[in-house]
Structure 1
Amino acid sequence: MQQQAPKAYIIVSNDKNEIQKTSAYTAKTLSSIIKTCLGPRAMQKMVLTKINSIEMSNDGNSILREMDVNHPSARCLIELSRTQDEECGDGTTSVLIFASELLNQIVPHLKTLHPIKVCNILRKAKDICINHLNTIAMEAAESDLINIVTSSVATKLCCVLKLPIPELALRSVQLIKSSIDGRIDVKNDIKIEKILGNFDECEIIEGIILEKEIIHSQMRRSIENPKILILDMPLEYRKGESVTNMEFSNKNDFTRALEIEEEQIHKMCGYIVDTGADIVITEKGISDLALSILYEKQITAIRRIKKSDSNRISKATGATVLNRLEDASPKHLGEAGMFEYVKIGKEYFCKLSKCKNPKAISVILRGPTRDVLTEIERNFMDAVKVARNVLLNPKLVPGGGASEMSMALKLNNSNDKEEKIIFRECGVALKVIPSILSTNSGNGICLDVINELEKKQNKDGPYFGINGITGEISDMKNIVLEPLVVKTQCIKSGFEAVMQILRVDGIIESKSK
């Protein structure tokens, strides 16, 4: 049967700005869902996920990614929140609220202004805001680091339960920071193990923990200061890469073939013994004969670990991953302070700990249920990303909506008529952040508080914002400071997402029948 070509459906309207109006409406709908998740008195959302599990979270990205939306503009904004989470780990709710409000404020002016011209003005407004943030930024002191990380997750479950997640996150990032180039690779250098148990049993292991069993029941299960050899090859009979047929003309030839295979295993194990290794870890398999030989030589073997775990062990212990045993020598061995085969919860783990200057670590998170553990893991990763941002760029800006109000006031200084209109709308969109913080605090009339905040900043400077707990106007230098990187990314992403949506005047959907 001949397959029909896909048909394209074009959505157009007599109203030239209908597409942008629809985009603004969908953005406003998304914003209304998650705006109660902003601030220290944020509310939780109970989300029924696509796999029929239940998650309770106030993280904007976690909520939005579980929503099934059809409008392409809504999908773009959800992607915006996901990007903010990947880049910074914080500001996922703020960026969507700001972008939605900005789009909603700008669209009515498209009747008199062309979208391209509006985008050019928005680009100028974005540059003014980012330059102003750099102007009011302050250097972070060493003593401020833990407070910054704590404030970034102050609305999360971990702070409600009073867990030491900020301390664990900051310590983790400090351990894996490269002393050569200052690089911090959160994704590859931190391994998280979620185990059911008590909250107070969460810990950082200066080394790596593997959910693996020791194959031979009589191998050593506790070794002090072990020498570690890591292999990317099997300790088995070396097989041909293609199909191999063997023909025997003598009854003893088959026995000799088996002897050759055993000799090959003995030779491979001999190379390992010569290095002086106490532990052998391989990504591939280990034959029974090799296990027996290694046991006789008091060498513990672990097999079939993941490639990512192999790389982490290499970074933690200083070992070199080998794919040729002939090259093995003592210089390729890694070191750890302690090797243990331990039971944590209901599972058994191989634990390499007390490594000197580890560049990869493991973090054990404990909790009573899987759902709680999943939320704690999200909180931990958010805290880790914020800690990474502060260590890489130790500059801070005031929180509590102070930065947004300050940027809104900065945009009032334009003399051009068209710029003045768009800048004013950008200021209104920026003020929505302190406005929502005031509303969520449950104290005072929002409009009056925002007017008072504007007067306070004009008089006393840009560091006054909304205390999200009391709803009062306070000096944010003593309450909440946020990383400059997070705020800059939020403003940049919000403006660019709106500019992208404003340039769309039609939606084309391709379907196959």
Structure 2
Amino acid sequence: MSFTDGILGEGTQFSVGEETRRYNLLAGQLIADLIKTSFGPRGFEKIYIDLLGEATLTKNGSTMLRKIDVEHPAAKAMIDASNSVDNEVGDGTISVVILAGSLLEKAGKLLDLGMSPSTIEAGYRKATEYSLDIVKSIAKVSHYSNKEVMLKLAETCLRTKAISVFSENKYVAKLVTDAFCTIADFVNRTVEVDDIKIEEKPGNTSDIQLVRGVVIDKTIDYSGMPRMIENSNILLINVELDDERTKTDAEIVISSPQEMQAYILKESDDIKRKVQKIIDSGANLVVSQKGISRSAQNYLSRAGIISLRRVKENDLHWLEKASGALTVTDLDNISEKHLGFAGKVYEKFVGDDKMVFVEGCKNPKSVTILLRANSKRMLDEYHRTVLDAIIVLKDFFINPSIVVGGGSTEMIIANELRKRSLSIEGKEQIVIQNFAEAFEEIPLTIARNSGMNMVDTIVQLRNKNSEHNNGRIHSWYGVDAIERKVREMYSQDVIEPLAVKEQVIKTASEVASLLIHVDEVIMKQPIMYTHTHGDGKTHSHARGNQPHDHFDKLGKMQRPSHHYY
């Protein structure tokens, strides 16, 4: 038994000193190398196959990093950094990993020169302050209601995602922008992303559409009901129109046929009374979260009323927002204020399934984006992509300042940092210059994934930026991945919210500084538990005795408050 085993217990791994720091830096760089090939418009997709054989196809950085199972704490810190950026600003998940990985690589070189970790960390902190100051000074301030800028932001976001493969990004960008502007409150400057419902069905990508209302993945209850109603009055109920079922075990003792007949008549009369209340309200569309019996459907059908039963609670919420209806829990107290309005309600085939469309609402505060793709894997990826674009628009709505993409912003920051470093004495000057070089990894990664020559690209970028960015007005020279050349990117409408860029810089610097400061790792050998899941899969791993779930059905952790079923 070693000395550390005597203190920390048997089975404890203990490493200390320079070797530990090197391994931490290397682990962080390996995570960056793993994901950087997905960066940019010409980045590549990744396929992850889990233990059950289910494949996830994605170009989304945080999705891939959430899927992989890593043990090294430094690698986990990089993944956490990507997740935090994703949850905060919705984009920049690969950028933050690339930048952090580049900062770790530069830190390793500085350590080789004999520089202390404290000096490197102090230099990184100062360089971060300078970088944030520079990016704020070069940002272009717009207005939060500028729809043209929003459209360009959505196009830029989608350009690097899966939808761009099918050349549908401009069309989808317009749908996303229209959806966002419909649900946003420009007077009070508030927006709730959950008010945009994202529905998915297999089909052609060109059939993606925006419905100014709600699409419900249900069929009309009864064949005798109308298949379309115009100028619909909508009633939302959370009341049983079916035989009452008690929550606890109960018995009804019936001793004669007359009592049985009386019981059946009583139930029938109760349902008739409830249906009559609905008919008297003037509603011609009834959407219920609970059941509707066959007899109730028949009564509603005779009155020309459409009914939908056992609709999800979220769908009722979206219908309230879209139509202005209020959910009723007591049919005896229905009033006109409870009814919502839709210009048109109809059922139609979407792919192989029927869906009900409630659209043409007067002032909808909830809309639906109906995504179509050739497979469930692509639908999941489209869902993530559209959601990212919506969050980017929200970032701009809250802070209406933009910077230019294609690595042009990073090149300006790198150029300005080098100038500022000359006014700093001591070793921190070298640290800040290396910090500046780390920013250049962003445009270089875009160029590398596009098949461009690295040496020619960095020479052109530095020349253009030193030539045109010597005053207060900056020229935004970056990498055009589509045309595979260095060019001015602002004229190409490649823009990003300032909030995303600030979050990327802060998070990358924080995680790099954190890993540089770690000099000891104490790791207890995990106890392996063998267990069997509901699908019959038996395996062993640490914490297997605790409630857990290995797989995330959509391939991406649900954002707080968002709707994934």
- So what's the TM-score if we normalise by structure 1? 0.89
- 1:279 & 1:231 partners in 2: Cα distance? 11
Contact 1:229 1:277 in 2 (8 A): yes
Letter in 2 for 1:506: V
Moved more, 347-356 or 402-411: 402-411
Q: Provide the residue aligned with 1:468 in structure 2.
A: 480
Q: Give the Cα–Cα distance (whole angstroms) in 1 for the partners of residues 337 and 510 of structure 2.
A: 51
Per the TM alignment, residue 495 of structure 1 is displaced from its structure 2 partner at its CA by: 1.6
Whether 1:435 aligns to 2:448 is: no
Whole-Å Cα distance in 2 between the matches of residues 280 and 484 of structure 1? 45
Q: Does 1:126 align with 2:128?
A: yes
Q: Aligned pair 1:171/2:178, yes or no?
A: yes
Question: Could you list the per-position Cα deviations for residues 321-357 of structure 1 after superposition, in whole angstroms to 9, with x for gaps in the alignment?
Answer: 1222222212101110101011121101111111122
Rounded to whole Å, the distance in 1 between the matches of 2:486 and 2:221 is 63
Q: Distance between the aligned counterparts of 2:392 and 2:178, measured in 1? A: 12
Q: Residue 41 of structure 1 contacts residue 468 of structure 1 at CA under 8 Å; is this kept in 2?
A: no
For the residues of structure 2 that align with 1:262 and 1:126, how far apart are their CA atoms?
Answer: 73
Which residue is equivalent to 1:3? none
Cα distance change on mapping 1:471 and 1:214 into 2, 3 Å:
closer
1:17-36 CA distance string (max 9 Å, x none): 33332121122122223323
| Mapped pair 1:197 → 2:203 | yes
Offset, 1:138: 0.5
Q: Which residue of 2 aligns with 1:159?
A: 164
Q: What corresponds to 2:304 in structure 1?
A: 298
Please give the alpha-carbon distance, in whole angstroms, between the structure 2 residues aligned to 1:13 and 1:48: 33
| Aligned-residue CA RMSD (Å) | 2.8
Partner of 1:449: 460
Deviates more, 1:219-228 or 1:445-454: 445-454
Of 155-164 and 296-305, the range deviating more from structure 2: 155-164
Structure 2 CA distance for partners of 1:342 and 1:120, relative to 1, 3 Å: same
| Structure 1 segment 101-500 matched on structure 2, within 5 A | 101-107=102-108, 109=110, 115=117, 118-119=120-121, 121-140=123-142, 142-163=147-168, 164-186=171-193, 188-247=194-253, 252-412=258-418, 413-414=420-421, 415-444=424-453, 445=455, 446-456=457-467, 458-459=469-470, 461-469=473-481, 470=483, 472-479=485-492, 480-500=494-514
Q: Which amino acid aligns with 1:133?
A: V
User: In the alignment, which residue of structure 1 is the partner of 2:544?
Assistant: none
Provide Cα deviations, 1:84-131, integer angstroms capped at 9, x if missing partner. Answer: 233333222111000111122224556866656654553443233222
AA at the equivalent of 1:459: N
Partners of 1:459 and 1:121 lie apart in 2 by: 24
- Determine if contact 1:273/1:297 at 8 Å carries over to the other structure: yes
Partners of 1:485 and 1:94 lie apart in 2 by: 13
* Secondary structure of residue in 1 paired with 2:480: coil
Please tell me whether the aligned partners of residues 49 and 55 of structure 2 are also in contact (alpha carbons under 8 angstroms).
yes
The answer (yes or no) to whether the contact 1:8–1:511 under 8 Å persists in 2 is no
Q: Mark the runs of 5 or more structure 2 residues left unpaired by the alignment.
A: 1-7, 529-565
Paired residue type of 2:475:
Y
Secondary structure, counterpart of 1:384 in structure 2: helix
- Mapped to 2, the partners of 1:447 and 1:198 lie a distance apart of 40
Q: 2:526 and 2:452 mapped to 1: Cα distance?
A: 51
Residue 151 of structure 2 aligns to a residue in which SS?
A: helix
The superposition leaves residues 420-476 of structure 1 with CA deviations (integer Å, 9 ceiling, x where unpaired) of 243223212112112323434434424423442452355355433223335544333
Q: Which amino acid aligns with 1:342?
A: K
- Asked if the contact 1:129–1:407 (Cα under 8 Å) also holds between the matched residues in 2, the reply is yes
Checking the alignment, whether the CA contact within 8 Å between 2:119 and 2:428 is kept in structure 1 is no
Letter in 2 for 1:103: L
Answering whether residue 506 of structure 2 is matched by residue 501 of structure 1, we say no
Deviation at 1:133, TM superposition (A): 1.5
Q: Give distance in 1, aligned partners of 2:446 and 2:248.
A: 67
Paired residue for 1:511?
A: 526
User: Aligned equivalents of 1:425 and 1:35: distance in 2?
Assistant: 20
- Between 1:101-110 and 1:300-309, the stretch displaced more is 101-110
| Runs of 5+ unmatched residues, structure 1 | 1-5
Q: CA deviation at 1:176?
A: 1.6
Q: 1:142 to 1:264 in 2, by over 3 A?
A: closer
Output the CA distance in 2 between the equivalents of 1:248 and 1:56. Answer: 60
Task: Tell me the distance in 1 between the aligned counterparts of 2:381 and 2:255.
Answer: 66
Letter of the structure 2 residue corresponding to residue 176 of structure 1: I
Shifted more, 220-229 versus 261-270: the winner is: 261-270
How far 1:302 moved relative to its partner?
Answer: 0.8
Distance 2:42 2:280 in 1: 62
Residue 71 of structure 2 is matched in structure 1 by 70
Given that residues 7 and 512 in structure 1 are in contact (C-alpha distance below 8 angstroms), is that contact kept between their aligned partners in structure 2? Answer: no
Pair 1:128–1:322, CA change in 2 (3 A)? farther
Q: Could you tell me how far 1:362 is from its partner in structure 2?
A: 1.4
The one-character-per-residue Cα deviations of 1:38-81 (angstroms, maximum 9, x if unpaired) are 23332344444554344544332233333332222212212322
Do the aligned partners of 2:469 and 2:475 also contact (CA within 8 Å) in 1? no
What secondary structure is seen at the aligned counterpart in 2 of 1:235?
coil
2: CA distance between counterparts of 1:273 and 1:128?
68
Letter of the aligned partner of 2:488 in structure 1?
Answer: D
How much has 1:157 moved relative to structure 2? 3.1
CA contact (8 A) 1:208 1:353 kept: yes
Residues 236-281 of structure 1: CA deviation (Å, up to 9, x unaligned): 2444454444445776444333333333222222322221111111
CA distance in 2, matches of 1:281, 1:107: 62
**SS of residue matched to 1:216:** coil
What is the alpha-carbon distance in structure 2 between the residues aligned to residue 232 and residue 115 of structure 1?
Answer: 62
Q: Is the 8 A contact 1:437 1:471 kept in 2?
A: no
| 2:440 match: secondary structure | helix
Partner amino acid for 2:177?
Answer: L
**Residues 344, 471 of structure 1: CA spacing in aligned structure 2 closer, same or farther, 3 A cutoff?**
closer
Identity, % of aligned positions:
28
Q: For the Cα contact (< 8 Å) 2:480–2:486, is it kept in 1? A: no
Partner AA of 2:128 in structure 1 = K
Whole-Å Cα distance in 2 between the matches of residues 464 and 57 of structure 1?
Answer: 30
- Whole-Å separation in 1 of the counterparts to 2:442 and 2:257: 86
| Aligned residue-pair number | 506
Query: 3-state DSSP class of the match of 1:184?
Result: coil
| SS in structure 2 of the partner of residue 337 of structure 1 | strand
Report what 1:25 is aligned to.
26
The Cα shift of 1:310 comes to: 1.1
Letter in 2 for 1:135: S
The answer to whether the 8 A contact 1:277-1:333 is kept is: yes
